[in-house]
Homo-oligomer: A and B are copies of this chain.
Amino acid sequence: MTLLLEVLDLTGTFVFGISGAIAGVRHKVDLFGVLVLSFAAANAGGIMRDLIIGSIPPATISQWQYIVAALLPGLLTFYFYPVVKKLNHPLLIFDAAGLSLFAVSGSLKALEFHLNPLAAVLLGILTGVGGGVTRDILVGEVPVILRTDIYAVAALAGSSLVVGGYFLGLPSVALAVMGGALCFFIRIMAIHYHWRLPIPKVHE
Interface, chain A (partner B; CB < 8 A) = 24-37, 47, 51-54, 56-58, 61-62, 64, 67, 78, 81-82, 85, 113, 115-116, 118-119, 122-123, 129, 133, 137-140, 142-143, 145-148, 150-153, 196-204
Write out the residue numbers on chain B whose beta carbons fall within 8 Å of the beta carbon of A58: 52
- Give every chain B residue within 8 A of A153 (Cβ-Cβ): 32
Kindly report how many copies of this chain are found in the complex they form together.
3
- Bound-state Cα–Cα, A64 to B115, Å: 11
**Residues of chain B within 8 A of A35, CB atoms compared:** 152
Select from chain B the residue with minimum beta-carbon distance to A33.
B146
* Cross-interface CB contact of A53 among B57, B81, B146, cutoff 8 Å: B57
Q: Give 9 CB contacts A-B under 8 Å.
A: A29-B147, A30-B199, A32-B150, A47-B52, A51-B51, A62-B115, A81-B201, A138-B142, A140-B142
Contact between B28 and A200, CB atoms less than 8 A apart: yes
Q: How far apart are A98's CB and chain B's nearest CB, in angstroms?
A: 17
The residues of B that contact A152 with a CB separation of less than 8 Å are: 32-33, 35-36
Residues of B within 8 A of A150 (CB): 30, 32
Contact (Cβ within 8 A) A33 B203: no
Query: Are B52 and A52 touching (Cβ within 8 A)?
Result: no
Once the chains bind, are A57 and B56 in contact (CB under 8 Å)?
no
Contact of A25 among B52, B54, B151, B202 (CB under 8 A): B202
The one of B30, B61, B81, B198 in contact with A196, judged by C-beta atoms closer than 8 angstroms, is B30
Closest chain B residue to A81, Cβ basis = B200
Q: Which residue of B lies closest to A155 (CB)?
A: B32
Q: Are A133 and B123 in contact (CB under 8 A)?
A: no
Q: In the bound complex, do residue A37 and residue B202 qualify as a contact, i.e. CB atoms below 8 Å apart?
A: no
Q: Does B139 lie within 8 Å of A146, measured CB to CB? A: yes
